[in-house]
Chain A
Amino acid sequence: MTGRHRLLTMEFALPAFFLVLTTIYLAQTFAIRGQSGAFWQGPRAMPIAASVLMYALLLVVLVRQVRQDTTPDQPGEILRPLLVMLATGAYIFLFQPLGYGLSTVLFVSALFVIFEFRTAQPAAFALYALIVTATFYILYAVIFGVRLPQLFGVI
C-alpha cells in the first residue's frame, strides 16, 4: 500500500479522529467558568492534563503506525456492520413516530435480512420477527410496566 493510501486507513483515521476530538475538547476547556487562581484546584486542571497526555499518546501511536511497513489486514467484512448501523439509526429515528410494535418488527426484520436468518422461508421469517417483538414487549411493557411508544394507541 502506498504511503498516501495508508494515511486513509483506519489505523490512521481513528487516532486522527481522537486528535480532532481532543482539540475540540481542549478548546472547550477554556470556556469553563469558575477557574480560580489556584490552577490545580479548578475545573480546568484535569481536562487540560488529560488533553496534553492524550496528544502525547496519540503522537506515539501515529509515529508507530508510520514506522510500520505494512498495514495489518482486518479480518471480516465491513458492509454488514454498516448495514447494522444504518438499521439501528433508522430504528432509533422511527421508534417514537411508529411506536414500539411496528418499528421493532421492521428493525428485527432488517437484522434478519442482514444476518441471513430464514430469508428463504417468509412465513417463518415473519413469525420469528413477531415473536422477538412480542417477547420484549411482554418483558418491558407487561412485566416491568414501562410505557413504550405507541402508534395510534396500539403497541
Chain B
Amino acid sequence: MDTFLSYFNGFAALTDPLNFAMLVGGFLIGTFFGAMPGLTSVLAIALLLPVTYQIDVVPALIMCASIFMSGMYSGSITAITINIPGAPSSMMTALDGNKLMRRGKGANALGHAALGSMIGGTLGAVLLMAFMPIAAKVSLLIQTPGKFALIFFALVVIVIVEKGNLAKAAIAMLLGLMIATIGIDDLLSVPRFTFGTESLIEGIDLMPLVIGAFAISEILVQAQNWRLDKAIDLDAVNRIKITRRDFIPLWSEVREIGIWLYLKSTIIGYLIGILPGAGGSMAAFVSYIEARRSSRKPEEYGQGSREGIAAAESANNAMCGGAFVPMLMFGIPGDPTTAIVLGVLVINGLQPGARLLENQADLISPMFAALIVSALILIPLTLYLLGPLFLKMVTISRGLLYSGIAVVALVGSYVATLSVFQMSLSLVLGILAFYMRRQNYSTVAMLLGFILGPDLEQYFRRAMSLSDDNPLIFLTSPDSLFFLLLTAAFVYMIVIRKPKSLPAA
C-alpha cells in the first residue's frame, strides 16, 4: 500500500514548477534528438549527465525519463516523413510509415505512430510500477553466487544480441570490464593499473566514458559521413504540407488494428526491455514479426500497413518501462539510456536494489510518473501542437548543431569535476569509440561491460571466498544454477537456432 501511495506522490511531485519544467524540457529535448537523424536520445541523456551534478536527483531522473520516452517515439517522425529513422528503434516504422507518406497519408501514419507509442509507453510504465514490488521481493532471494550468475547472464545476452559480430561485441564488453578495473580494488583496497599516476587512483569515471562513447564519437562519425549526409533532400521536407487534424487517427482504423495488437506488442516490448542489451530496435523487430505472422493481411506489411506501425511503436515505447526493472532492482541496465540513468542514481548516492523502493521511493516515483505523463499526455499533445514544426527540424544546420554538442560535451565533462583530465579522457575514449564503431565493435557492450564489470568481479570473488575457491558453488547454488541454465537457453535461442528474416521492404 505504501508503495502505491508513493507512486501517487510521484505524480504530485510533477506539479512542482522545476520538476514540471524538467519534464516538458526533457520531452522536447528528447523529441528533438530522437527525430534528428544522427542524433539519439542516448546522446541527449549523455549530455545531460554532467548537468546532473548541478541539480537534484528528482528533476534529473524526471528529465531522463521524459527524454527516454520521447526519444523512443520521435524517431518515427523522420522515419515516416523522409524514410530516415531518427533512432534505430524506428527502423520497422520506416518500412510502412514512409509508404503511407508517399501515398499522401504521412500525417495519418504519424498519428498511428503516436497512438502506438502512447499506448505502449503508458502500459509499459504501468507494468513497471505494478511489478516493481514483486521484482524487489525476488531480488532479495538471490544470494551472492546467484548475483554473479545473473550479471554473467546479462553480459552474455548483451554480447549475443550483437548477432554477426559476437567476437567483436565480446571484445568491446571485455574492454569495458578492463577499464573498470582501473583504480582501487573495492575488496582489498589495493591500487590496480594506475601506472603510478594519482589521476587514475580513483579509477575512470562513468562520465568521460559516456561523453566519449556517445557524444564525441558521434560528432566524429558525423564528420566522417559529412558528404553522405548532404544527400538528404531538404527540399522534399519543405514541400511536405500537413495540417493538425490529419494527425488524429480514424476510429475505424484503430478498430481494424485491434486493441489486442497494441496489448500484445506492449507485452513483447516490455519483456524485451527487461533483457539486457536488447533495446528498442529488437522490441520493434520482434513485435513487428509477430504482428505480421498473426495478421489477417500479412501482405500489407512493408507496403504501408498501419498494423505494422502500431506494433513497432507500441513495442519500442513499452520497452522503456521494462528496461527500468533490471536496472532499479539488480543494477543491471537494459540499454545505454538506463545505464546512464544508473549513473545518475550512483552519482547521487542511490544504490539499486530492493531497498531503493523501500526507503527511497519518494525519489524514484516521480520518474515513473514522468514516464506515464510523457507517454499518455505529452506524446499526443506535442504531436498535435508541434507536429508541423517537427518536420522542419531536419532542416537545421548540422554544422551549428554538432558544434554546439561538442561544446556541451567537453565543457560538461569539465564542470563535473573541474578537471581538464576528464576532458582529455573523454576525447581519448571518444576517439577509441569512433574507431570501434567504424569496425562494428559495439560501444554499448563496452559501456555495459564497464558498468557491470565491477559487480561481476565482486560477486565472483565473494562467492569463491564463501566456497574456499571451489567453482562448483555456482552449480550447487539453486539461484546461480537457474541463471546459468537461462544463459545456456538464451545462447541456444539467439545464437544456435535459425534466425527469422527481416520482412521485405
Contact = CB atoms under 8 A, between A and B. Distances in A.
B395 interface: no
A42 B436 CA distance: 31
Given A43-B190, A116-B399, A132-B404, A75 B228 contact: yes
Contacts of A69: none
B481 interface: no
Contacts of A41: 461, 464-465, 469
A89 B408 contact: no
Nearest to B169: A57
B406 A88 contact: yes
B399 A40 contact: no
B317 interface: no
A74 interface: yes
Contact of B400 (A11, A57, A100, A117): A117
Nearest to B435: A14
B237 interface: no
A47 B168 contact: no
Q: Is the interface of A mostly helix, strand, loop or mixed?
A: helix
Given A40-B460, A84-B219, A92 B423 contact: yes
Contacts of B177: 46, 50
B468 A38 contact: yes
Contacts of A33: 190
A144 interface: yes
Interface string B43-57: 000000001001100
A89 B423 CA distance: 9
Contacts of A78: 224
Interface in A37-71: 38-43, 45-47, 50-51, 53-54, 57-58, 60-61, 64
Contacts of B174: 50, 53-54, 57
Contacts of A115: 223, 226, 398-399, 402-403
Interface residues of A, number: 68
Contact of B399 (A25, A111, A136, A140): A111
Most chain A beta-carbon neighbours within 10 Å: one of B411, B415, B465, B471: B411
B127 interface: no
Interface of A: 10-11, 14-15, 18, 22, 25, 28-29, 32-34, 38-43, 45-47, 50-51, 53-54, 57-58, 60-61, 64, 74-78, 80-81, 83-85, 88-89, 91-92, 95-96, 100, 104, 107-108, 111-112, 114-118, 128, 132-133, 135-136, 140, 144-148
Given A18-B175, A45-B464, A61-B171, 4 more contacts: A77-B226, A107-B406, A115-B226, A140-B411
